[in-house]
Amino acid sequence: MEKSYLQIARAAYQPKLPKALLGPVKAVAGAPTQSVGNQEEIKELFPNTYGMPVIEFEAGEAQQLPAINVGVILSGGQAPGGHNVISGLFDGIKSINPDSKLYGFILGPGGLVDHNYMELTSDIIDEYRNTGGFDIIGSGRTKLEEVEQFEKGIKILRELNIKALVIIGGDDSNTNACVLAEYYAAKNYGVQVIGCPKTIDGDLKNEQIETSFGFDTACKTYSELIGNIQRDCNSARKYWHFIKLMGRSASHIALECALQCQPNICLISEEVEAKAMSLDDVVTYIAEAVAKRAEDGKDFGTVLIPEGLIEFIPAIKKLIAELNDVLASSEAQALNRSQQIDFVKQHISPENLAVFNSLPTSVARQLALDRDPHGNVQVSLIETEKLLSAMVAAKLDRWKKNGKYKGKFATQHHFFGYEGRCAAPSNYDADYCYSLGFNASRLIANGKTGYMSIIKNTTAPATEWIAGGVPITMMMNLERRNGKMKPVIRKALVELDGAPFKYFASKREEWARETKYVYPGPIQYFGPTEVCDQPTITLKLEQQK
């Protein structure tokens, strides 16, 4: 593999570890846990992995442990730092016993089912240390839900003498990890399953998981791009830039980028829903900010938009919920795409039909026809940034006729998604991910299954980070998916009474009227710690650091 000078320099970087993981460990168990919702139902579904305690590792006494073979899977969308989780896991199992082996299943969970794998040796691992992407073994979105898949998986695990499987993924992937752990425990198959929290969207977090890996790097990558645009915006002074950002289910990325860059406007989906704002309310909010800046002679600005915004507008959210149920029916599934539109119109409520008919034709078709593998609307395909700017332009034209607006409104559009998913991990993510993988090896050595690897206190220096594990069942509740109630990990949304949003809310009027742009610049890997090793502003505000 050819390497850039940065890759060569980064390959030599040794990620930092929490003090507790620098030698032998002992697991300290807390109180029994329960799920965040639907306790009785979750307990019934997961009798073998429910109620386990949260684990924290402390320094322990050295002991000779046998070699262990471990499998690893990268699941779902890419996030910066995945390679470091794998390298941390590799180093961790080798420190337990040098004869331990690590096998990677190719292209996600499907590799386990299809027996597609490779042994990850030190030569391979060393090529990928501190690099972005998931290309060491690839990723996939196959869901592990069926008994047939579990049984196919156990065949290859037995053939390779794999005693533990580490699944690196987001909330859906870790839900699958929990289901698999329960099945193998119920069958006494002797295979442990451990999860690692990954998603750049930042919505896999709770009291135990401070942040999902990749979020830090992605936000810094997007913030560099937004800062560049804002510098251009403030130089040319003739465009409003509408910038859509990753974040289907939650607005954590948009909020963090706003905290880093101080744009004129940042929409937060959770606030739009809480205030029961209509699409017109959102458009009016933007148009009023544009008009006020025009009064000051500033016909330019930046607007940040989370990609899932449209789903949080209550009227559209109700429409989508009914569309999901209607389109999940076997009758709808049997129809071709053009027939499905007519079927939808005939089978949704009059209230939702009125909303459906009020949308631009292209958006209505996307809501009704374009679904992801989970049966959900593919909101990333909806060009919300263009929809909003067009509606703002139309409103400003009306205001111009009655003298309410006298400026010029020209726009540019951007969507930042793939640009951040495989970036070279920041020092924070390089350290955090390596620690998550190394820590997973310690959960395995301590006989744990159905746990997620967790690293806490991450606004402190890395040596002071706290390592341990949380039962995946603790994070679960029941939610409606494809017309059925299913156990899933509860997504973490932006908390409107949380410190990050409150700080943003206290500043946004000032940022809207004035030009207070911050230009973060590119991620720095070498230099003073206050430049290179900072966590997100979100995390610092949450922990008041």
Query: What domains does the chain contain, in order, with CATH numbers?
Result: 32-214+425-481 (3.40.50.450), 215-421+497-542 (3.40.50.460)
- Which residues lie across from 244 on neighbouring strands? 305, 415
DSSP letters for 161-198: TEEEEEEEE-HHHHHHHHHHHHHHHHTT---EEEEEEB
Element (H, E) at 499: helix 499-513
372 is catalytic: no
Residue 107 is predicted with a pLDDT of 97
DSSP letters for 206-218: -SS----BTHHHH
CB atoms < 10 A from the CB of 156, how many?
19
How distant, in Å, are the alpha carbons of 276, 332, 362, 491 from that of 245? 22, 32, 20, 18
Residue 329 is predicted with a pLDDT of 80
Residue 372 is predicted with a pLDDT of 67
Residue 379 is predicted with a pLDDT of 67
CB-side exposure of 307: number of CA atoms within 13 Å? Answer: 18
How distant, in Å, are the alpha carbons of 9, 131, 217, 355 from that of 4? 9, 11, 19, 52
The span from the CA of 20 to the CA of 94, in Å, is 17
Catalytic residue among 201, 203, 429, 533: 201
How would you classify the pairing of strands 240-245 and 192-197? unpaired
Residue 375 is predicted with a pLDDT of 65
Nearest to 198 by CA among 422, 21, 382, 34: 422
Can you give the length of the chain in residues?
A: 545
| Six-digit token string for 41 | 């139902």
The span from the CA of 486 to the CA of 480, in Å, is 6
Distant-in-sequence contacts of 38-44, Cβ < 8 A, 24+ apart? 38/476, 38/477, 38/478, 38/487, 41/478, 41/487, 42/473, 42/476, 42/477, 42/478, 42/487
Residue 373 is predicted with a pLDDT of 63
65-94 burial: b if 16+ Cβ within 10 Å, else e: eeebbbbbbbbbbbbbbbbbbbbbbbbbbb
**Which parts of the chain sit beneath pLDDT 50?**
none
- Which residues lie across from 479 on neighbouring strands? 486
CB of 130 within 8 A of CB of 10?
A: yes
Sign of CA dihedral 139, 145, 146, 147: positive
- Which residues lie across from 268 on neighbouring strands? none
The span from the CA of 471 to the CA of 49, in Å, is 7
